[in-house]
Amino acid sequence: MKHYQVRMSGGRIGEGFNGRPPAFEPIALSTNGSTTTSQTGLSCPWPAPSTRVLVGWIDRLVGGGLNADRRGCPHLKDQLHQLLTRPVDTVVCTLLDESPEAPMNSALAHHDPAKLLAGIWLLGELTGAKNRWIVAEGGTPFRWLAEVREGAAQLKLRMIWLRNDYPQSDPSVLLHTLLNRKLRPKRLPTEQGVLLLDAAAAIDIGQIALCNKPVERTPLAFRDHTAGVSRFVTVPTGMKISEALAAAGVATEGKELRQGDLLRDLRIDGNATAGSGELVVHVNPREPARSPDSCVRCGWCVEGCPTRIQPAGLLEAAQRRNPDLADHYGLDSCIECGICTYVCPSHLPILDGIRQIRQQSDELNKQLSGTVEKTG
């Protein structure tokens, strides 16, 4: 993947779009050509927070199709249900985008600011959170988020502008930057007093609240690395990615599909469906098989690691199938950003090894938990 553009530092969102946010092209199934319309204006006569009210709204949101689970919005249903037992003091809506070539969150915020703001405001009221923040990239073109800034000021939502160096949008990194709170990877932000969601989820909440309409469509961004173009579409939730790509005119023959941040190397096939998962799909040429060289002990993986663990040691632990050794090298703190694999001069499959040993460790912990329950 080293021949693809990856932004490791700096903020240049908007480049390649002539300063204008990308428009979303609606794609319909042959049996249903309907699309949702944007609601303008804010009218939010919602009640003060209480457990009963919160339960009612959770049921309404989940019943309306809210089911986001992606890096910028991890397990949103579980976060909402955890609010019943774990109060939060902060609601964060992140507009950070990992790829300047596919600025999904910024584009969504520009095109549907009313629903976005309504969703954030509603969650703030329901939780009683004192901090209600919208986090955006400092390099975003001014007019992209002009209406968001204006509406945020009216609703007393704070805009926070960050330098968006990868992997700043990762929940563990983001919470440490904003609040100096330590969130273990794979854990819910609500465990650290934060309800975290992205632009798409906030807009879905706003649609259910303002329009009383369920979530029936999903925004997607397709980045074709061969053609050097990005396509932004909305598709019916549940539509196959292969069908959406074909309708958008993106060729996939001889290509590989990855979703989310490119360095995370989350490969999918065309049978994957649009819905709760990652909203950016990268279309890359198939890479030839590459035989890795031996580790040269350069230490680049350690230097590049944002959580300061020892990735090469984790690969060794995976090769030895030794979860205890993996714990020693910092498995519990790995956010699977993929920087270690990207910088490795020996082309070692470090990220793959980390995922393998993490799966082994999780399976072992489940076995141990089951043994304790039986003996208890």
Q: What is the CATH number of the domain that holds 231?
A: 3.10.20.90
**Domain boundaries, position 315:** 300-375
pLDDT value, residue 334: 98
Boundary (domain end) residue, out of 258, 285, 312 = 285
Say if 309 falls within a structural domain: yes
192 in the same domain as 123: yes
Low-confidence ranges of the chain (pLDDT < 50): 1-11, 30-41
Q: Is residue 173 part of a domain?
A: yes
DSSP code of residue 260: S
Q: Compute the mean pLDDT over every residue in the chain, rounded to the nearest whole number.
A: 89
Q: Report pLDDT for 11.
A: 44
Number of structural domains the chain divides into: 3
Residue 371 belongs to a domain? yes
Same domain as 248, residue 185: no
Q: Is residue 22 part of a domain?
A: no
Gyration radius from the chain CA atoms = 21
Q: How far apart are CA 304 and CA 89, in angstroms?
A: 32
Determine the pLDDT at residue 371: 65
Q: What are phi and psi of 251, to 5 degrees?
A: -75, 135
- Contact predicate 256/199, CB 8 Å: no
pLDDT at residue 35 in the model: 38
* Same-domain status, 363 and 245: no
Query: How much is the pLDDT for 12?
Result: 57
pLDDT attached to residue 49: 57
153's tokens:
């000021």
| Whether 253 and 158 share a structural domain | no
Could you tell me the pTM of the whole model? 0.90
Residues 60 and 155 in one domain: yes
Residues 363 and 244 grouped into a single domain: no
- Listed residues 285, 317, 345: the one ending a domain: 285
Going by C-alpha positions, the residue among 4, 185, 27, 186 that lies closest to residue 99 is 4
| pLDDT for residue 2 | 37
Please name the residue that has the structure tokens 């950016």: 280
Residue 142 lies in a domain: yes
**What is the distance between the alpha carbons of residues 370 and 109, in angstroms, rounded to a whole number?**
45
Q: Which of 211, 242, 268 is the last residue of a domain?
A: 211
